[in-house]
Amino acid sequence: MRSLLALGIFFTASAHATTTSGKFTALSFNVAGLPSILQSNDVNGSKTENAGEIGTYFAKYGYDIIHMQEDFNYHAYIYATDNHAYRTATSGGAAIGSGLNTVSNYDWVDFTRSKWNTCSDASGSDCLTPKGFTFMRWNPSTGVYIDFYNIHADAGTEDGDETARNSNLQQVADYIDTWSTGNAVVVMGDTNSRYTRSADTGIRVFQSQNGLSDAWVNLERSGVYPTAGADAILCDNPSTVETCETVDKVLYRGSKIVALSASSFDYNGEKFLNTDSAYLGDVLSDHNPVLVNFTWTMSSSLRQSEFSGGPHGTWFSDLPNMPSSPKASVLTFSGSSRLDAVGVKLTDGTSFSHGGTGGTAKSLTLGSGEHWITTELCTGQYNNQTRNFYIKATTSAGNTLEAGTATDSCTTYTADSGYAVVGFMGQDGDEIDQLALIYAPY
């Protein structure tokens, strides 16, 4: 059989989102899925039936992305009645899995699970099950990526609990600095933290270290964070007001590519009540679900392509060091059997280079008014991992530069009118594992 490459058949992808703005709804919900023998959560009704009702509500409301915590032993009942197109596979019941799962109307890439480095049984049995956080690069529109984190931190208020919880949240903050550099980010979940607790210092690290804003603080408190050591601002369940504070939080930031704004905040518990006649109107979980409506807008100055390759190697992004009005002047690629390295030098002297030292380096100097417009990337399997094997750049003047070895799996990325390639983001090691292109107007 002749290959698609031999037949001249390729996949094509636009440079960035054909839609430059949009909206999405994000819900964080601790679904109280620990076995009844371990924790009743003081919620009436059968946990099996309650889980099924929760899934029914997920399907009814159709929120775009839903992060669940404590989705342990009744996970299948939620999924049986929910109809979201994209779902994470469970990592197991209590004592085996983390209880963290997501359902979504849109797909994602690069999903990972991480266990906490520190846990504490001072006030309970937090070390019984491998709690932690999940990461996914969520893709609500072509060329639009938002890094979503789902977290469930250590509970309790004993000294050991506070130490463990602050360590948990610091672990996520450090992960964001490593794996979400340059990206829009949303952190959702059961932080088990309150801003009013003096010892809960970890929750504030997302603002101080990662530049995240709290949707509740921004929308319900005019951006003023509660004072540490002040009286707790407790919520009823379900809560009929949004001015109180729960441990379930939604934090976010935009990027140079995607502006992100929270437009509304709601404790959504009144929409998740029991319909069984014996427990009519009772809550289905001991936590208020938190709903935030977001709007996103693509930047007119920087855009990105879809990703090519697999989620291996170390994350890199040229966005934090991108100068204003960037324009490429020299392209440099290295490759042999596979794509080893990519680089670009800008007209102001800024240079970006990623990958390893293997292969033969080739360069192309762009002429005055010449721009890198089209890119062909081919992927393949090496050591059971998907990598980029080949790149071919074509300029507005018809000049080309290529490196590596073409495969049967190729995609052509073409910049929209008036845009050109000026940098990269992705993952690398000795070679280029994953690659996306950064575009700017010329």
CA–CA gap between residue 231 and residue 242 (Å, rounded): 17
Digit-coded pLDDT (tens) for 168-207: 999 999 999 999 999 999 999 999 999 999 999 999 999 9
What is the phi/psi pair of residue 280, to 5°?
-55, 125
pTM (2 d.p.): 0.94
What confidence score (pLDDT) does residue 125 get?
87
pLDDT for residue 36: 77
Both structure tokens of 189: 């979940």
More confident of the two residues 172 and 10: 172
pLDDT in the model for residue 42: 82
Res. 3: pLDDT tops 50? no
Say whether pLDDT at 435 is over 60.
yes
Q: What would the pLDDT profile of 306-356 be if each residue is shown by its tens digit?
A: 999 999 999 999 999 999 999 999 999 999 999 999 999 999 999 999 999
* Beta-bridge partners for 25: 293
User: Domain residues of the chain, as ranges?
Assistant: 21-298, 303-441
C-alpha to C-alpha distances, 395 to 23, 371, 414, nearest whole angstrom? 35, 5, 11
Distance CA 371, CA 389 (A): 23
Instruction: Tell me the percentage of the chain whose pLDDT exceeds 70.
Output: 96
Give the end-to-end CA distance of the chain in Å, rounded to a whole number.
43
Torsional class of 349: left (φ above 0), alpha (ψ -120 to 50), beta (otherwise): left
- Inform me whether the pLDDT recorded for 410 exceeds 70: yes
Q: What is the CATH number of domain 21-298?
A: 3.60.10.10
Evaluate whether 274 touches 43 at the Cβ level (below 8 Å).
Answer: no
pLDDT of 145 above 80: yes
**What pLDDT score does 18 carry?**
65
Angle (CA) 78-79-80 rounded to 5° is: 90
Is residue 1 classed exposed, middle or buried when 0-12, 13-18 and 19+ CB atoms within 10 A define those classes?
exposed
Q: What is the mean pLDDT of the chain?
A: 94
Q: Mean pLDDT, to the nearest integer, of 161-173?
A: 98
CA 214, CA 187: separation in Å to the nearest integer?
Answer: 9
The β-bridge relationship of strands 303-304 and 432-441 is: antiparallel
The secondary element (H helix, E strand) that includes residue 52 is: helix 47-61
Mean pLDDT value of segment 253-268:
98
Q: What is the pLDDT of residues 98-124, one digit of tens each?
A: 999 999 999 999 999 999 999 999 998
Q: What are phi and psi of 164, to 5 degrees?
A: -65, -45
Sequence-distant (≥ 6) Cβ neighbours of residue 194 within 8 angstroms: 200, 203, 226, 232, 245, 247
- Residue 41: its pLDDT value, please? 72
Query: Span 433-437, mean pLDDT?
Result: 98
Q: Which residue has the higher pLDDT, 40 or 44?
A: 44
Q: What CATH number labels 303-441?
A: 2.100.10.30
Q: Which residues contact 183 (CB under 8 A, 6 or more apart)?
A: 137, 145, 146, 147, 255, 317, 319
At 9 the pLDDT is 40
Q: How many CA atoms lie within 13 A of 410 on its CB side?
A: 21
Classify burial at 299, counting beta carbons within 10 Å of its beta carbon; exposed 0-12, middle 13-18, buried 19 or more.
middle
Grade residue 4 by pLDDT with cuts at 50, 70 and 90.
very low
Q: Are strands 339-346 and 328-335 parallel, antiparallel or unpaired?
A: antiparallel
For residue 5, pLDDT over 70 is answered with no
Omega before 226 cis (within 30°)? no
Positive or negative CA dihedral for 106, 316, 434, 402? positive
Average pLDDT over residues 277-287: 96
Q: Give the three-state DSSP class for 300.
A: coil
Q: Compute the chain's Rg from CA coordinates.
A: 24
- pLDDT, tens digit, for every residue of 17-33? 468 999 999 999 999 99
Neighbours of 263 (CB within 10 A): 11
Q: What is the DSSP string of 216-227?
A: HHHHHSTTPPPP
pLDDT single digits (tens) 62-100: 999 999 999 999 999 999 999 999 999 999 999 999 999
The span from the CA of 156 to the CA of 293, in Å, is 30
Please name the residues in contact with 27: beta carbons below 8 A apart, sequence gap of 6 or more. 63, 65, 66, 67, 268, 289, 290, 291, 292
